[in-house]
Amino acid sequence: MNIQVLTLFPEVIDSYVNTSIIKRAREKNIVSIESINFRDYADNKHHSVDDTPFGGGAGMVLTPQPVVSALENLDYKNKKVIYLTPKGKTLNQDLASSLSKEPDLILLCGHYEGLDQRVIDHYVDLEVSIGDYVLSGGELGALVMIDAITRLIPGTLTEDSLAEESFSNYLLEYPQYTRPREFEGHAVPDVLLSGNHKNIELYRITESIKLTLSRRKDLIAEGIENKYFSDRIIKLIKQVKKNLL
Ligand code: 6GU
């Protein structure tokens, strides 16, 4: 997959995508990520990219020309253009999963009061938000999307770690422990030290179900609605609800 990020702050994007799992995915050529400063496409002497809003009001609006020139330079017609904005469709695991199958994404980051509506209307395919709060610009949204998408592309993670993750199966992940066996008087659950893999698996699924029922009942309801759970998991959910486990 190729991801191109149009931003006034490319260094913000570059710093995070040169770290950890995304860095490794780039090195393995699973994903290419390029940040582009659309200020470089401003055709005025001062490389200015914003102006006051027609009709008045606070703040500045990004002018269409630099953004559109940058998009044209990127052959945007053959790519999915996404604008990061609090007005967009809220990112979730399903949206990340469907976007992870796109060959080419262009992520457009606004700043100030955002983009001129004509750019959104005529150049943007999808508007995405990362949650119900307002950020100063789209860069954090773009990075959140890049992270969520990259880890879903085959080869980035091992099959096992992907399957075990929260949300990938409508259940929050079970708790993890490592050495030492006892820390500040708190012991690791005995079952994890038992070496009995069937019991460990049952303990983990049960803990996942308990945690999800207490924190995110909506995920369980969604998993049931999408007929995601096996008969065994459904039975365990019922038992946990009845306090039998
Ligand atoms: Cl993607 N951008 C901005 N500026 N604010 C947001 C957001 C994105 N998602 C939630 N709030």
Please check whether residue 130 is in contact with residue 182, taking contact to mean a CB–CB distance below 8 angstroms.
no
Packing angle, helices 139-150 and 20-27, rounded to 10 = 60
Ligand 1 atom nearest to CA at 144: 1
Positive or negative: CA dihedral 21, 24, 26, 29: negative
How many angstroms is it from 91 CA to the middle of ligand 1?
10
Residue nearest to atom 5 of ligand 1 (CA): 135
Nearest-angstrom CA–CA distance, 94 and 92: 6
Ligand 1 atom nearest to CA at 129: 9
Nearest-angstrom CA–CA distance, 109 and 115: 9
For the chain, list the strands marked E by DSSP: 2-7, 32-37, 50-51, 61-62, 80-90, 104-109, 126-129, 182-183, 186-187
Packing angle, helices 231-241 and 197-215, rounded to 10 = 60
What pLDDT score does 10 carry? 98
Higher pLDDT, 37 or 166: 37
How many angstroms is it from 235 CA to the middle of ligand 1?
40
Which domains does the chain possess? 2-157 (3.40.1280.10), 164-244 (1.10.1270.20)
Higher pLDDT, 245 or 102: 102
Ligand 1 atom nearest to CA at 137: 4
pLDDT, tens digit, 9 for 90 and up, residues 66-104? 999 999 999 999 999 999 999 999 999 999 999 999 999
What pLDDT score does 244 carry? 84
Residues touching ligand 1 (Cβ under 6 Å) are: 84-86, 129-131, 133-135, 137-138, 141
Please compute the mean of the pLDDT values over residues 50-62 and round it to a whole number.
Answer: 96
At 135, the pLDDT band (50, 70, 90 cuts) reads very high
How many angstroms is it from 140 CA to the middle of ligand 1?
8
What pLDDT score does 112 carry? 76
Ligand 1 atom nearest to CA at 130: 9
Nearest-angstrom CA–CA distance, 231 and 224: 11
Please compute the mean of the pLDDT values over residues 3-21 and round it to a whole number.
Answer: 98
Token output for 105:
């994404």
Reference 63, options 116, 107, 110; nearest CA is: 116
